[in-house]
Amino acid sequence: AQSVAQPEDQVNVAEGNPLTVKCTYSVSGNPYLFWYVQYPNRGLQFLLKYITGDNLVKGSYGFEAEFNKSQTSFHLKKPSALVSDSALYYCAVREGSGGYQKVTFGIGTKLQVIP
């Protein structure tokens, strides 16, 4: 069975500092990995995904994520945090073979950017 873990319930970072939101995954085959963001009282917005190719994936709003196969991780990063980045961030994984497979979401990490 596939799973995804977000070990931090909340991450606090000062505005202008780099941020990292951690995600590790477990899947039997090749992973397809995703990050979504949820702003207060809104639905999930797709940020970025890793399917294959370069381990560093760039997405919306200046975010990027690094796929590390040996560590089974897909951490979300941004060089300089903005107060407007404060939101809930969800990592998701599914197995990338055999047609469409169900996506499994992490429990979410609340990012708080402090002015």
Partner 1 sequence: SAVISQKPSRDICQRGTSLTIQCQVDSQVTMMFWYRQQPGQSLTLIATANQGSEATYESGFVIDKFPISRPNLTFSTLTVSNMSPEDSSIYLCSVLLGTGGADTQYFGPGTRLTVL
Longest dimension (CA), the chain: 46
Residue among 46 and 61 whose Cβ is closer to partner 1 = 46
Placement of tokens 């951490």 in the chain: 75
115 binds partner 1 (CB under 8 A): no
CA neighbor of 112 nearest in space, from 81, 67, 91, 90: 81
Placement of tokens 């995804």 in the chain: 4
Residue among 81 and 87 whose Cβ is closer to partner 1 = 87
CB of 87 to partner 1, least distance (A): 14
83 — phi, psi (to 5°)?
A: -60, -35
Which stretches does DSSP call E strand in 29-108?
Answer: 31-38, 44-50, 56-58, 64-68, 73-78, 87-95, 104-105
CB of 17 to partner 1, least distance (A): 27
CB of 45 to partner 1, least distance (A): 7
The stretch among 12-20, 61-69, 78-86, 105-113 that binds partner 1 (CB under 8 A) is: 105-113
Binding to partner 1, residues 46-75 (CB under 8 A): 46, 49, 51
Binding to partner 1, residues 1-30 (CB under 8 A): none
